């Protein structure tokens, strides 16, 4: 598979190549999966995605497979347990954000608002096929970030939101020559 043309960031490291080729940009509509990915993007703040990928399985285990109903019930004791877990990213602010974000996710659900349907409605229900230079944020990610923050979400700034939209296939930013671009466009 080395003869395939990929996005530049997904060409040098086997773990990143695998992520690029099988996950990144693939359209996700499942609410829980979208929420998990947003939480992982929050953990990336200030770090590389490679670090998050290396710790993803441990993060999933520590956060009950990112089941919002379970995470929302975490207590101060759970926060301390997580802060002592060397296998995960140990940032108190990120850990408490995930717990609060689980509660915000559930509040949306209790109000009859499906998280997946909500985010897809923000882009008109169909993935955006981006062309040209790829920004780190845009007016849309700023608007979605503000909406999430109004709902009580944390670690959802416009840059994190833009990365999340790319990773979950709401915006296809695969390079025009990348073999995944057309595949992802079809899946959208």
> Of 3, 64, 178, 174, which is closest to residue 188 (Cα–Cα)?
174
Distance CA 106, CA 92 (A): 21
pLDDT at 162: 98
pLDDT at 140: 97
| CATH domain 25-187 topology | Endonuclease III; domain 1 (1.10.340)
Distance CA 21, CA 61 (A): 24
The CA-based angle 49-54-60, given to 5 degrees, is 100
Is residue 35 within 8 Å of 68, Cβ to Cβ? yes
Q: For the chain, give the mean pLDDT.
A: 96
- The response to whether 130 counts as a known ligand-binding position is no
The per-residue pLDDT for range 72-110, each reduced to its tens digit, is 999 999 999 999 999 999 999 999 999 999 999 999 999
- The response to whether 174 counts as a known ligand-binding position is yes
For the chain, which residues make up each domain, given as ranges? 25-187
Confidence of residue 1 (pLDDT cuts 50, 70, 90): very low
Confidence of residue 2 (pLDDT cuts 50, 70, 90): low
Distance of CA 50 to the CA centre of its chain: 14
Q: Which of 61-65, 129-133, 141-145, 164-168 has the lowest mean pLDDT?
A: 129-133
Residue 172: φ, ψ to 5°: -90, 105
The per-residue pLDDT for range 28-72, each reduced to its tens digit, is 999 999 999 999 999 999 999 999 999 999 999 999 999 999 999
- Residue 156 pLDDT > 70, yes or no? yes
Is residue 134 within 8 Å of 143, Cβ to Cβ? no
């Amino acid at each position: 598979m080395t003869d395939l043309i990929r996005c530049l960031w997904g060409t040098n490291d086997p773990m990143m190549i695998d992520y690029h080729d099988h996950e990144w940009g693939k359209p996700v509509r499942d609410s829980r999966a979208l929420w998990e990915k947003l939480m992982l993007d929050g953990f990336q703040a200030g770090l590389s995605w490679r670090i998050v990928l290396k710790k993803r399985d441990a993060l999933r285990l520590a956060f009950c497979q990112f089941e919002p109903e379970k995470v929302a019930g975490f207590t101060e004791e759970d926060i301390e347990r997580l802060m002592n877990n060397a296998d995960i990213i140990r940032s108190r602010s990120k850990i408490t954000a995930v717990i609060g974000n689980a509660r915000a996710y559930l509040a949306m659900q209790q109000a009859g608002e499906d998280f997946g349907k909500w985010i897809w409605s923000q882009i008109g229900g169909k993935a955006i096929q981006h062309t040209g230079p790829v920004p780190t944020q845009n007016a849309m990610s700023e608007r979605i970030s503000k909406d999430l923050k109004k709902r009580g979400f944390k670690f959802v700034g416009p840059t994190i939101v833009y990365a999340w939209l790319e990773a979950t296939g709401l915006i296809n930013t695969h390079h025009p020559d990348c073999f995944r671009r057309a595949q992802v466009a079809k899946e959208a």
